Amino acid sequence: MQVLIKRNWQYILYKENQKYFLEVICGGAAMFELKISLNSEEIDDYLSHGEIFIDKLAEKIRNSPGEYLDRKDEK
């Protein structure tokens, strides 16, 4: 596993075996982590725009985690 970006108490982006994963801290009083595998479009956007894209994606996930639950990675 290669950590690419780590923002404490926000998210971690890492790469493992050519796959990219984003773990985002969600919730208020009851905090939880939501880990998703980036799709090909998101990977392209990250490679083109870097941290700015990941910051925005993490914020979207944090604000609406229910929209990403079907992409949750259990590994």
Strand-strand pairing, 11-16 and 2-7: antiparallel
Q: What is the mean pLDDT of residues 26-53?
A: 94
| Contact indicator for 45, 53 with CB cutoff of 8 Å | yes
Confidence check: pLDDT of 75 > 70: no
pTM for this structure?
Answer: 0.90
For residue 28, the model assigns a pLDDT of 77
Report how far Cα 68 is from the mean position of its chain's Cα atoms. 10
User: Lowest-confidence range among 14-28, 30-44, 61-75?
Assistant: 61-75
| Contact indicator for 35, 72 with CB cutoff of 8 Å | yes
Q: Which helix (H) or strand (E) holds 34?
A: strand 32-37
d(CA 23, CA 69): 12
Q: What is the mean pLDDT of residues 48-73?
A: 95
Which amino acid is it at 19? K
